[in-house]
Amino acid sequence: MEIEPIIHVQGLEKSYGELDVLRGVDFDVARGSIFALLGSNGAGKTTVVRILATLLKADAGTAGVNGFDVATEPAKVRESFSLTGQFAAVDEILTGRENLVLVARLRHLDDPGALADDLLDRFGLTEAAARKVSTYSGGMRRRLDIAMSLIGDPPVIFLDEPTTGLDPEGRLEVWQTVEQLAGRGTTVLLTTQYLDEAERLADRIAILHQGRIIANGTLDELKKLLPPAKAEYVEKQPTLEEIFLAIIGTNHEEQA
């Protein structure tokens, strides 16, 4: 018996005047998976997310989240997801814990303090809980932003270019957070323009180009679309990211 996808998109179209942004987009996302929508700037990634989040109406096609249609059941759709945009939506005047407690109270949840403490622990922010967010690094702000999105336990989270503007260390922190989300059963729809990000995180990758999905599959399936590589011996060199993180780790140990 085939399991119904938690996100279903079929024939999605959207235009702004004479500019066709989406020209028949189709994809499904399996429950509990990480799905990466990969594309360059202007490919239409954010437009897809905004339609799924009921913030924008499609010109044609259908889309559903958690079994609910975005056009006819928008209230049910909104109860099923949380959205984290390209820039962290946190209050810098408040502490990390106060941000979480505020959101929990706005959603009328029981024991907001306990919810906040649990999320701070999950996202490695307990030691910074009493500090104002204005003192947080970019990676810490993004982790707090994602933690705020999870208040209420939505089954789906949309992450729209979550590592934009972060340094290598901050990007790694966010990647680890996303992997933990999926490990707990949350479905993640991730939009990104970074190839390494999609390669590291995604169970499936859809490539959006000029308003259409031109490839969709696992990393192994996408690799098979290219001709076989000629086998040659090449000494592996460390990447700049590996060098950077190794040096940072060494310095941290010396200062400890």
Give the tens place of pLDDT for each residue, 196-233: 898 999 999 999 988 999 989 998 888 887 776 666 66
DSSP 20: E
Residue spans of the domains in the chain: they are: 1-31+39-80+187-226
Do residues 61 and 80 lie in contact, with contact meaning Cβ atoms separated by under 8 Å? no
Which positions of the chain have pLDDT values less than 70? Answer: 1-2, 87-88, 228-234, 240-241, 243-245, 247-256
Long-range contacts made by residues 91-96, C-beta under 8 angstroms, separation at least 24?
91/133, 92/132, 92/133, 92/134, 93/132, 93/133, 93/134, 94/132, 94/133, 95/129, 95/130, 95/131, 95/132, 95/133, 96/120, 96/125, 96/128, 96/129, 96/130, 96/131, 96/133, 96/136, 96/140, 96/144
Q: What is the pTM of this model?
A: 0.82
Return the pLDDT at 231: 63
48 three-class SS:
helix
**pLDDT for 172:** 87
What pLDDT, on the 0 to 100 scale, is given for residue 2? 56
> What dotted CATH number matches 1-31+39-80+187-226?
3.40.50.300
CB 14 within 8 A of CB 51: yes
pLDDT of amino acid 93: 93
The answer to whether 32 and 182 are in contact (CB under 8 A) is yes
- Dihedral sign for Cα 243, 246, 252, 254, please: negative
**pLDDT for res 51:** 97
